[in-house]
Amino acid sequence: MRAKLYSFPLLGHAMVICCRIFTSTGNARNSNTMNVRLKSEGYSRRRITIVESDTAIAQKLVAAIKTNRTNKTSNAFECTNEIIECEVMSTQREFFDSDPAKWDLVITASHLRDGSGFDVLSYVQGLRPDVPVIVTGTPDEADAAVEAVRAGAADYLMLTGHEMISLPVTVQKCLALQVIRTENDDLHAELSHSLSELAVANRELQQMIQRLEIAARTDDLTKLSNRRWLNLMLDNRWEEATRNGIPLAFLMIDLDGFKRFNDTFGHQKGDEVLRLAARVLEANCRSIDVSARFGGDEFCILMPHTDPDSAVRVANRIAIAFDEAVAAVAGPDVHVSMSVGVSHWQITNPVNADELVRHADIAMYAAKSDPDLHVVLCDDQRKSAA
């Protein structure tokens, strides 16, 4: 068999159409392949697959595309810089056996020797919904045009004898729309990827902010609240208590014998005792309480919604738990204990939050001065004596 070669220039570019026309058994009637180097680099290869059982019509369709691309007076493809391949198949079965990856545009007759163009359209939409399909038919099949477009065809071309003009324009439109759709899909994918990266970055930023916020209000050694956070919460709880009449207690805690222990066993052991005291406080506090390191070996607990008796009970429980913890860890020969001063705004009637803290400090020093006491509740008598 002889192959017929089509090579033609367009606006100074050498272009090629490679035509493969198959019989119903898949044997080649004509097979032409020609590779031409473009004068300007950077071209793409586009494949138009024509499914047409009528050989004469198939040749007219190929000729319409070839003639338009070689016509310098036509501007239908003047902005393109690509190699176009036309592959003609005479049966639906041949098309179904072809490689979907090679489809760029499909032109199918509405009626085929072994099937229907609507079957081809449905097949393409199932495998390659991005590939435009042009359905062709005769003028007496006008009703099929509406049906084809509704079924998803990119266009419907009536074979009226003017294919030399109408087909290239239709092909150009479909290929241009395909490029636009592909670019839009790529942009959408890039945008989705960018939004995903932004969401991840935002989550990481939120986590970092949370870590910084926690670090800003936490004592590095004991992991209790620091003095800054305590003062902030103290002001808020004081305003709440005085405005709504809510009970509010404050515990000031000092470690007796800690300095001597620290001088004897070193700062590392001293730090262990401070962390132990912090764990005891946390274990005996509610979620609404604020346990904090006041400074050095002094700790405190802000206790909203707490009556005086409950505050004293918690203070005694903490002091006993600390004695037991120290004995278990450091042994009975280590003498470090807690003195706890308790103040309550409904007993001593402080004028502000700072005075509530000062009343607890007064009670704490009273507990330190009496070896038989671990916990002292500040009252009007002790407040006046101070």
106-149 pLDDT, tens per residue?
A: 999 999 999 999 999 999 999 999 999 999 998 888 788 889 99
166 inside domain: yes
Q: Using H for helix, E for strand and C for coil, what is the string for 157-215?
A: EECCCCHHHHHHHHHHHHHHHHHHHHHHHHHHHHHHHHHHHHHHHHHHHHHHHHHHHHH
Domain range for 321: 227-385
Q: How far is CA 65 from the centre of its chain?
A: 47
Q: What percent of the chain has pLDDT over 90?
A: 63
**240 and 331 inside one domain:** yes
**275 and 381 inside one domain:** yes
Q: How far is CA 101 from the centre of its chain?
A: 32
Q: Provide the sign of the torsion angle of the four alpha carbons 346, 352, 353, 358, taken in this order.
A: negative
220 inside domain: no
**233 and 364 inside one domain:** yes
The answer for 161, left when phi > 0, alpha when psi is -120 to 50, beta otherwise, is: left
**168 and 74 inside one domain:** yes
**248 and 175 inside one domain:** no
Average pLDDT of the chain? 84
**104 and 21 inside one domain:** yes
**CA gap 326, 339 in Å, rounded:** 14
**135 and 262 inside one domain:** no
Answer with the one of 131, 164, 187 that is the final residue of a domain: 187
Question: Containing H/E element for 113?
Answer: none
The enclosing domain of 316 has a CATH number of 3.30.70.270
135: β partners: 108, 156
336 inside domain: yes
**DSSP secondary structure of 300-317:** EEEEET--HHHHHHHHHH
**238 and 107 inside one domain:** no
**CA gap 169, 180 in Å, rounded:** 16
62 inside domain: yes
215-272 pLDDT, tens per residue?
A: 899 999 999 999 999 999 999 999 999 999 999 999 999 999 999 998 888 899 999 9
Tally of domains in the chain: 2
271-308 pLDDT, tens per residue?
A: 999 999 999 999 999 999 999 999 999 999 999 999 99
**181 and 239 inside one domain:** no
Q: What percent of the chain has pLDDT over 70?
A: 83
pLDDT at position 182 = 86
194 inside domain: no
Exposure string over 162-196, b if 16+ CB within 10 A, otherwise e: ebeebbbebbbebbeebeeeeeeeeeeeeeeeeee
263 inside domain: yes
pTM: 0.56
pLDDT at position 184 = 92
**CA gap 278, 321 in Å, rounded:** 12
301-358 pLDDT, tens per residue?
A: 999 999 999 999 999 999 999 999 998 887 777 789 999 999 999 999 999 999 999 9
193 inside domain: no
94 inside domain: yes
The enclosing domain of 16 has a CATH number of 3.40.50.2300
**311 and 174 inside one domain:** no
Could you tell me the pLDDT band of residue 176, with boundaries at 50, 70 and 90?
Answer: confident
Residue in 175, 169, 135, 155 with CA at minimum distance from that of residue 47? 175
pLDDT at position 347 = 93
pLDDT at position 66 = 81
Could you tell me the pLDDT band of residue 19, with boundaries at 50, 70 and 90?
Answer: very low
